[in-house]
Amino acid sequence: MITRVVMPKLTDTMEEGIVVAWKKQEGDPVAVGDVLAEIETDKAVMDLEAFGSGFLRKILVPEGQAVKAGALIAVIGELDDDIDAVLAEATSESRPPTTTPSPQASPPIPTKPSPEAPPVSPPSAPPTETPVVAREKKISPRAKALAEEHGLDISTLVGSGPGGRIVERDVLNALQAAPGATAHQPIVRPLSQMRKAIARVTTESKAPVPHFYLTTEISMAEAERLRKQVATIRQTPLSLTALLVRAATLALQHHPDINVSFAGEALHQHTQIDIGVAVALDDGLITPVIRDCAQYDILTISDRLRTLIERAKAKHLAPEEYTGATFSISNLGPYGVHNFIAVLMPPQAASLAVGTVRSVPVVKDEAIVSDRRMQVTLSCDHRALDGAQGAQFLQTFKRVLEQPLELFLPLAPPSEGR
């Protein structure tokens, strides 16, 4: 039985993926559940498992090449199966050309790309030095594409990534150090799958969604004292972001009308509080989600958040771990940013942007004193929310952080009528 292996659509925002590495080669036996390849999506690098058994008869997409979701990338079948019809179907649908170094290819394989085609180095005969070096040296797909774009010999590069892997910054450094390079000559950097998705989703959100923004300032002196006290009795520190998540959970519990999504002729009221926390990566950002935050105390939230952030930076999150947030928090405080606004990511109707905690002079009891202050800005979808609703949410959020003992208390059930 012939099994068509296609580029999976692993997330709602994924339009194409990159084959990072083939874990099986042509002619290898394959069982259901075997890992065929590593796929780079717009958010993570994930394993592609086989849904059929037999032998890997044909690889249609070389490592490092991007293809549209749903495109045929390989064929699994028995050794005596006729796969010509499947290969012809791929060609007729203008799928990427079959470019594997196999002498038993059925359709004709071009030995060179046309002058107008992207400068991909397919491992077709006759073999060249670049694919061989790329297999011997670990290199990220973005670094490989950038090196080929500028005709840079990969064999001359020294990788600075994990395990000596060549990453984008290694290629950029080599290009800047190359003879004849000038400060006025731009370096073309192909967009990563993550950056493409960010560009697409933010454009789709910002243009049609009527945003409005509410900013308030919060005294963080008591919250900082509380964090220091926790640090003296607990081995693992309590992060500021964990405080923010817990405070947002309490505020959403008191104001469930913020935890909604606009759906045309109706509002979807979410019965579970799923909070996403934006995490910066080298090529964009990802928002791991803490599901059902109301069921966790603040220490559990802190531990779960730390684990999610570590896995996010390693690009090991599964799609269900970074999609479907009902509310999100973006904290640029560690970068010294005082105040900013966040673009809403549907289906969320509200998102919180958090600035740095800093010492500022304030008037207290008719005297000027120093206080630790933080500005936060709530972005709201005006189709689902009004200003008063957002302001009430911020009042509760502010009160909880300024009286942080509440962060450690069990969640009380919402009052009737709320």
Average pLDDT of the residues in 211-240: 93
Mean pLDDT along residues 228-251: 93
Decide if pLDDT at 70 tops 80. yes
Q: Give per-residue pLDDT as tens, 278-326.
A: 998 877 788 999 999 999 999 999 999 999 999 998 888 888 898 899 9
Q: How far is CA 45 from the centre of its chain?
A: 10
Specify the higher pLDDT residue, 60 or 116. 60
For residues 224 and 291, membership in a common domain is answered with yes
Q: Is 382 a catalytic residue?
A: yes
Per-residue pLDDT at 171: 83
CB 406 within 8 A of CB 400: yes
In a domain, 415, yes or no: no
5, 36 Cβ separation under 8 angstroms: yes
Q: 333 and 357: one domain?
A: yes
The pair of three-digit structure tokens given for residue 247, joined into one six-digit string: 């405070």
Please report, rounded to a whole number, the percentage of residues in the chain having pLDDT higher than 70.
79
- Give CA–CA dist 401/375, Å, rounded: 12
Same domain, 266 and 401: yes
Torsional sign, CA 147, 150, 156, 161: negative
72 lies in some domain = yes
Measure the CA–CA gap between 192 and 138, rounded to whole angstroms: 18
H/E element, 131 = helix 129-136
Confidence grade of residue 178 (pLDDT, cut at 50, 70, 90): low
Task: Residue 305: name the closest of 323, 287, 283 by CA.
Answer: 287
User: 397: which 2 tokens?
Assistant: 């959020």
Q: Spot the catalytic one: 150, 211, 268, 382.
A: 382
pLDDT given at position 371: 94
Choose among 93, 188, 111, 90: nearest CA to 148.
Answer: 188
183 and 144 housed in the same domain: yes
* DSSP 8-state class, residue 194: H
Judged against a pLDDT cut of 70, whether residue 382 lies above it is answered with: yes
Cα distance between residue 32 and residue 321, in whole Å = 25
Query: Which residue type does 19 have?
Result: V
pLDDT at 239 over 70: yes
Angle between helices 387-402 and 221-233 (to 10 degrees): 50
**pLDDT average, residue stretch 195-209:** 71
Of 100-104, 169-173, 203-207, 280-284, give the lowest mean pLDDT range: 100-104
Asked whether 332 and 313 are in contact (CB, 8 A), the reply is no
Predicted local distance difference test score (pLDDT) of residue 417: 41
Instruction: Specify whether 257 is located in the same domain as 353.
Output: yes
Rounded Cα distance between 64 and 44, Å, is 15
Asked if residue 214 and residue 184 are part of one domain, the reply reads no
Residue 142 sits in a domain whose CATH number is: 4.10.320.10
Q: Find the domain containing 180 and state its range.
A: 128-207
CA distance from start to end of the chain: 58
Q: In terms of Cα–Cα distance, which of 374, 392, 283 is closest to 331?
A: 374
329 shares a domain with 216: yes
6 φ, ψ (degrees, to nearest 5): -115, 160
Indicate whether 138 and 24 sit together in one domain.
no
Higher pLDDT, 252 or 100: 252
Q: 87 in a domain, yes or no?
A: yes
Is 324 a member of any domain? yes
SS3 411: coil
pLDDT at 68 exceeding the cut of 90 = no
Whichever domain contains 75, its CATH number is 2.40.50.100
Distance CA 358, CA 333 (A): 9
d(CA 334, CA 355): 8
Q: Are residues 184 and 243 in the same domain?
A: no
Q: Into how many domains does the chain fold?
A: 3
What pTM value is reported for the model? Answer: 0.60
With respect to residue 92, please indicate whether it lies within any of the assigned structural domains: yes
Q: In this predicted structure, what is the pLDDT of residue 9?
A: 80
277's tokens: 């926390």
Give the CATH number of the domain where residue 336 resides: 3.30.559.10
Q: Average of pLDDT values for 373-400?
A: 96
Q: What is the mean pLDDT of residues 107-119?
A: 45
pLDDT of residue 368 exceeding 90: yes
Same domain, yes or no: 222 and 318:
yes
pLDDT digits (tens, 9 = 90+) for 86-110: 888 777 664 444 444 444 444 444 4
Evaluate whether residue 311 is within a structural domain. yes
pLDDT at residue 111 greater than cutoff 90: no
**pLDDT > 90: percent of the chain:** 40
Work out the average pLDDT over 12-40: 85
166 falls in which pLDDT band (50, 70, 90)? Answer: confident
Distance from C-alpha of 69 to C-alpha of 61, rounded to nearest angstrom:
13
Confirm if 164 and 184 have CB atoms less than 8 A apart. Answer: no
Contact 383, 392 (CB under 8 A): no
- CB atoms under 10 Å from CB of 412, counted, come to 10
- Domain end marker among 207, 239, 264: 207
* 178/41 same-domain check: no
